[in-house]
């Protein structure tokens, strides 16, 4: 059975559990967001280009309110077409809404040569599991050459113990 078929089976079969972020998030908790599969699309030299993409994030909760959870990205990496960008900790922004089950991440990243890239990412919780939650992630990533990439990923969030 292919990995995509197994993933789809897991999304259908796994019973709904309470994701810790939606029920009992606390200041200081750390969550990991990892990519299962994804790609990026851009219009480059008159053609639509599709390349592999992934996002890995380590997020620490800084504030918890009734409907809102605020966090900072303490580490992160965005990979577009094999080119790695490290997220700058001083330029993070993140918020999760417990009612809509959506999160927004925004900030700067740099490649190995120090060239800056900007990103805005959005996630929507799709299927809670016992340990975390499958999410749909999409967003915009502006690379150092000025190319705007549309990211579309299937991701998974879990609490780091």
Dig out the tokens for 92 from the structure: 């993070």
Determine the pLDDT at residue 6. 44
What three-state secondary structure class fits 149? strand
* pLDDT tens string 37-71: 999 999 999 999 999 999 999 999 999 998 999 99
DSSP conformation class of 66: S
- pTM confidence score: 0.83
**Tell me: domain 26-160, CATH 1.10.3720, correct?**
no
pLDDT band at 14; cut points 50, 70, 90: very low
DSSP conformation class of 91: G
Residue 123 has pLDDT above 70, yes or no: yes
Residue 1 has pLDDT above 60, yes or no: no
Are 138 and 150 a contacting pair, CB within 8 Å? yes
Work out the average pLDDT over 82-106. 88
- Measured at the CA of 72, the angle between CA 71 and CA 78, to 5 degrees, comes to 120
| 116 vs 90 pLDDT, higher one | 116
Residue 26 has pLDDT above 60, yes or no: yes
**CA dist., res. 42 & res. 141, Å (int):** 10
**CA dist., res. 83 & res. 156, Å (int):** 22
Nearest to 55 by CA among 161, 144, 139, 127: 139
- The domain segmentation of the chain, as residue ranges, is 26-160
């Amino acid at each position: 059975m292919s990995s995509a078929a197994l993933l789809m089976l897991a999304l259908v079969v796994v019973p709904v559990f309470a994701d810790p972020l939606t029920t009992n998030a606390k200041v200081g908790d750390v969550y990991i967001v990892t990519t299962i599969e994804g790609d990026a699309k851009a219009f480059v030299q008159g053609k639509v280009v599709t390349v592999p993409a992934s996002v890995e994030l380590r997020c620490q909760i800084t504030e918890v309110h009734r409907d809102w959870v605020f966090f900072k990205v303490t580490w992160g990496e965005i990979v577009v077409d094999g080119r790695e960008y490290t997220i700058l900790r001083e330029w993070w922004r993140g918020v999760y809404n417990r009612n809509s089950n959506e999160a927004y991440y925004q900030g700067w990243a740099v490649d190995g040569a120090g060239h800056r890239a900007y990103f805005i990412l959005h996630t929507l919780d799709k299927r809670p599991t016992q340990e975390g939650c499958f999410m749909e992630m999409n967003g915009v990533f502006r690379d150092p050459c000025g190319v705007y990439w549309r990211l579309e990923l299937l991701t998974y969030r879990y609490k780091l113990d």
